[in-house]
C-alpha cells in the first residue's frame, strides 16, 4: 500500500501509486496483480499519467484497476484502457 505525499514544490510530491510500487519493490516483489485507487472525491479518480507508466513497468495491459470513492467502487478499468499503446519492459529486449 502507499499514500499520497503532497509537497509545495509539486514535482517533488509522491503519488500513492509510486509509494506503493516503491514499497513493493523494496519487499522483493516484481509484479502488480491488481490495483485499487481510493479517493475522497465523488468523481472517479484514476492514476496520473506518470503513475500509469510506472504501473506498466510491473504489470500487463490486462491489469485491473479498481477506482473507489467514499461510497464504494465507482469504476473498473484495465491498464490498457488507461494507457493504450503503452511501452513496457518487453519492448526493451
| Catalytic residue flag (residue 17) | yes
Question: Does the pLDDT at position 49 exceed 80?
Answer: yes
Residues 6 or more apart whose Cβ sits within 8 Å of residue 58: 21, 24, 25, 30, 31, 32
- List domains and CATH numbers for the chain: 32-86 (3.40.140.10)
What confidence score (pLDDT) does residue 5 get?
A: 65
What confidence score (pLDDT) does residue 25 get?
A: 95
Nearest to 51 by CA among 19, 88, 91: 19
What confidence score (pLDDT) does residue 59 get?
A: 96
- pLDDT, one tens digit per residue, over 1-39 is 766 666 666 667 788 999 999 999 999 999 999 999 999
Q: Among 17, 34, 57, 61, which one carries the catalytic annotation?
A: 17
What confidence score (pLDDT) does residue 3 get?
A: 66
Amino acid at each position: 500500500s502507499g499514500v499520497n505525499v503532497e509537497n509545495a514544490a509539486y514535482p517533488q510530491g509522491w503519488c500513492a501509486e509510486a509509494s506503493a510500487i516503491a514499497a513493493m519493490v523494496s519487499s522483493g516483489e516484481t509484479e502488480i496483480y491488481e490495483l485499487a485507487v481510493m479517493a475522497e472525491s465523488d468523481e472517479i479518480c484514476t492514476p496520473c499519467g506518470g503513475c500509469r507508466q510506472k504501473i506498466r513497468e510491473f504489470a500487463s495491459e490486462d491489469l485491473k484497476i479498481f477506482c473507489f470513492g467514499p461510497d464504494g467502487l465507482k469504476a473498473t478499468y484495465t491498464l490498457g484502457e488507461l494507457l493504450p499503446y503503452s511501452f513496457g519492459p518487453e519492448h526493451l529486449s
